[in-house]
Chain A
Amino acid sequence: GQNIDQPTEMTATEGAIVQINCTYQTSGFNGLFWYQQHAGEAPTFLSYNVLDGLEEKGRFSSFLSRSKGYSYLLLKELQMKDSASYLCAVRDTGGSGGYNKLIFGAGTRLAVHP
């Protein structure tokens, strides 16, 4: 079957570092995405990993291990505005017309406290 697991909720302190984990089981794999979604707003793209290793983008980094079916999103120097849901999504292979289906996890709601 296809399954993506991530913690439901996390809390952290302003200025700290937080790691949000995601494990996946899919029939195929062609990349993993992280999206940020503030309450009542659309998800916005944060990062993409298709090869093993760490991708760094400012305060945010994302790691992938394909052999373990595992990824994490690392947020450094947390700010209050980072309070949001973080969605892990795996692009499954297959489908027609050049489309690869995205399978989303339920999201991790992060609350950053002063």
Chain B
Amino acid sequence: DVKVTQSSRYLVKRTGEKVFLECVQDMDHENMFWYRQDPGLGLRLIYFSYDVKMKEKGDIPEGYSVSREKKERFSLILESASTNQTSMYLCASSLIGVSYNEQFFGPGTRLTVL
């Protein structure tokens, strides 16, 4: 069964803290993505990666960085958390070079920054 897992379902951090969100997929997918989801705005792409050590900025990369050292793992880093980064964070993965490249999503991490 297809599986994308995220390290935490709920996380509470303080302003200025460094925050790591981890995502692991067991489907040998090349592509991995980080989105944030806010009411009324839908899913917005933060960063994505199409291969190990490769990364590209999405629509809203400011205040975030990513790391992909292994194919199955994609980490999102908030260097200095701020209250406007309170959100639901969703990780997804997909195959490369397939006609429809369906994205499989993890359960999400609801991050609150105080």
Contact = CB atoms under 8 A, between A and B. Distances in A.
Question: Do A and B associate with each other?
Answer: yes
Interface of A: 4, 8, 31, 33, 40-45, 48, 50, 87, 89, 91, 95-102, 104-107
B42 A97 contact: no
A101 B45 contact: yes
Nearest to B110: A40
Contacts, number: 66
B100 A48 contact: yes
A97 B108 contact: no
B107 A41 contact: yes
Interface of B: 4, 30-31, 35, 40-45, 48, 50-51, 54, 56, 58, 90, 96-97, 99-108
Interface SS, A side: loop
Contacts of A31: 100
Contacts of B44: 104
Contacts of B105: 42-44
A42 B107 contact: yes
